[in-house]
Amino acid sequence: MEPKIDPKQLIQELTVEELCRSAEEFYRSQSDPQHHLTRPFGNTFDAPQILHRMGLVLHGLQLGKSMIVLDFGAGTCWFSRFLNQMQCATISVDASQAALELGQKSFEMWPVLGGSVQSPQFKPFDGYHLDVPSESVDRVICFDAFHHVPNQHQVLSEFHRVLKPGGVVGFSEPGPHHSQSDLSQQEMRNHKVLENDIRLDEIHQLADDIGFTDLRVMLLTDPNQLLSYQDYRAIVDMPQMPLAKMIIRMWHSFREVARWLSQPEPSKPDNPERAFTSLPAKMVQCIVPAMIDSTVFFLAKGTSTPDSRSHEGLKHEMEILSAPQAFQVGKNAEIRVQVRNTGHAVWLHENIGDIGVVKVAAHLLDTNYRLLNNDFARGRFGASIGPGQDSEGTLNVTFAEPGDYYLALDLVSERVTWFEPLGSKPQYLQVTVTATRKAETRRLSA
């Protein structure tokens, strides 16, 4: 039996340039790249766990539409395509030019529905430097790529350089024993690919030295562990359980959990078919192996303040300051409102394609509050509005037909969301629209 390859020894033996060439040779040698192009749906075995981790990374990154996202180690750019579909602007980076060419081809074969907010970029990586300006990207995604990186300090420093203040890097990587798996050993032996272990204690120290301000780790569970209906009921009923009873149950289960965790490899119990009798022990068994086998974590560059490119933190209070006493068909009428940003997100007043720009807006309703026109009118603010700030807005409305109506005045973040579904209360204005003499004449002659 051949001795196991130590990834740290491999780093000493192979240069960064050689590892980059190995990546290029790997993709150039693919006679049928369909598996790589169709990720994460390449096969039924990988798809569930990839999609599971994708969701966790996307959730932790708190993306907003039109954000610039650097997809590091993008391979055939499959993740970049989904980011474009979410209306993010992407920069796909990989050490293999062949992989990027396949990625560009995939965009041509399966165009993004509705088009991309910006043309996607594809940039080769030399193993050291990102061909991206400093402080120019909102987010970096590193999905199953960082464990291939031999010079982690250098690459993390580049992530920090290109991120805007408040930016975040999201990682989905294997765990601290990844290099010892049979598949990892085969990859290192046959393809000269680095399959390194991911140790968060080492990454935490590197990130701290570089200047990242925070490292947060997503709690993982094993999706293969299914609960019985009785266990499900026990969890959802727990908040209604008397505190004393809950403490007693937890205490009785503690010894069982402690015995399991004291095993040399708690991810592999002596009896894999063993069923824990207590729910807390079952929950621990579901969490510990998942946290050992995988890591989903995030590095922050300073404090991130959300803005109106996403739903998070959007809330307002509104007061109608003035409105005309009379409305006439075809004549412009001005409505003034006072708004306060009572959420924790900044309201943008300009952005690419108006995405995330907050405007005062109105729905047109009949007297029974039935919707007649969802996008009846819009009005801009003169500047961005931060949390706690007040501002006045003006809405100009013109009616095409006489009658009695309601205007529901609300705020909208363009191409993102209206504020009412997020909990803000619109203001209702009842209006009566009269016909002008010319309009009456036209109706009589008709």
The pLDDT tens digits for 406-416 are 999 999 999 99
Q: Residue 288: what pLDDT?
A: 81
320 in the same domain as 213: no
Q: Domain boundary at 221, 251, 269, which?
A: 221
CATH number, domain with residue 417: 2.60.40.10
Identify the CA nearest to 167 among candidates 80, 67, 308, 84: 67
45 pLDDT band, cuts 50/70/90, is confident
371: left (phi over 0), alpha (psi -120 to 50) or beta: beta
**266 in a structural domain:** no
Rounded Cα distance, 55 and 38, in Å: 18
Give me the pLDDT at residue 245, please. 59
Statement: residue 204 has pLDDT above 80:
yes
> Does 223 have pLDDT greater than 90?
no
How does residue 1 score in pLDDT terms, banded at 50, 70 and 90? Answer: low
Residue 19 lies in a domain: yes
pLDDT attached to residue 442: 35
- Residues 73-130 have pLDDT tens digits of 999 999 999 999 999 999 999 999 999 999 999 999 999 999 999 999 999 999 999 9
State the greatest distance between any 2 C-alpha atoms of the chain, in Å, as a whole number: 99
The arithmetic mean of pLDDT across residues 188-207, rounded, is 93
Asked if 215 and 96 sit in the same domain, the reply is yes
Q: Averaged over 204-228, what is the pLDDT?
A: 92
Q: Are 150 and 18 part of one and the same domain?
A: yes
Contact 300, 60 (CB under 8 A): no
Greater confidence (252 vs 361) lies with 361
Residue 424 within a domain: yes
Is the pLDDT at 268 greater than 70? The verdict is: no
Let me know if residue 358 belongs to a domain: yes
Give domain status of residue 233, yes or no.
no
CA atoms within 13 A on the CB side of 4: 13
- % of the chain exceeding 90 in pLDDT: 73
Does the pLDDT value for residue 210 go beyond 60? yes
Give residue 285's pLDDT: 74
Q: Is the pLDDT of residue 266 over 90?
A: no
| End-of-domain residue from the set 203, 221, 239 | 221
Q: Torsions phi, psi of 295, nearest 5?
A: -140, 130
Q: How confident is the model at residue 441 (pLDDT cuts 50, 70, 90)?
A: very low
> Same domain for 187 and 41?
yes
Residue 431, SS3? strand
Residue 238: pLDDT band (50, 70, 90) is confident
User: What range does the domain containing 122 cover?
Assistant: 7-221
291-346 tens-digit pLDDT: 888 999 999 999 988 999 999 999 999 999 999 988 999 999 999 999 999 999 99
The proportion of the chain whose per-residue pLDDT surpasses 70, expressed as a percent, equals 88
SS3 percent helix, strand, coil of the chain, rounded to 5, is 35, 25, 40
Please choose, from the candidates 360, 390, 400, the residue with its C-alpha nearest in 3D space to the C-alpha of residue 377: 360
Residue 50 belongs to domain with CATH number: 3.40.50.150
pTM of the model: 0.87
Q: Are residues 42 and 178 in the same domain?
A: yes
pLDDT at 175: 93
**Is residue 240 situated within a structural domain?**
no
Is there a single domain that holds both residue 43 and residue 169?
yes
* Pick from 40-44, 247-251, 366-370: least confident: 247-251
Helices 243-261 and 279-293: crossing angle in degrees, nearest 10, is 50
Average pLDDT, the chain: 89
308: in domain: no
pLDDT tens-digit profile of 399-439? Answer: 999 999 999 999 999 999 999 999 999 999 999 999 974 43
Domain final residue, candidates 221, 249, 280 = 221
pLDDT in tens, 137-176: 999 999 999 999 999 999 999 999 999 999 999 999 999 9
Q: Which of 105, 118, 113 is nearest to 36 (CA)?
A: 105
In a domain, 235, yes or no: no
Tell me how many domains the chain contains.
2
What does DSSP assign to residue 302? S
Tens digits of residue pLDDT in 355-397 = 999 999 999 999 999 999 999 999 999 999 999 999 999 999 9
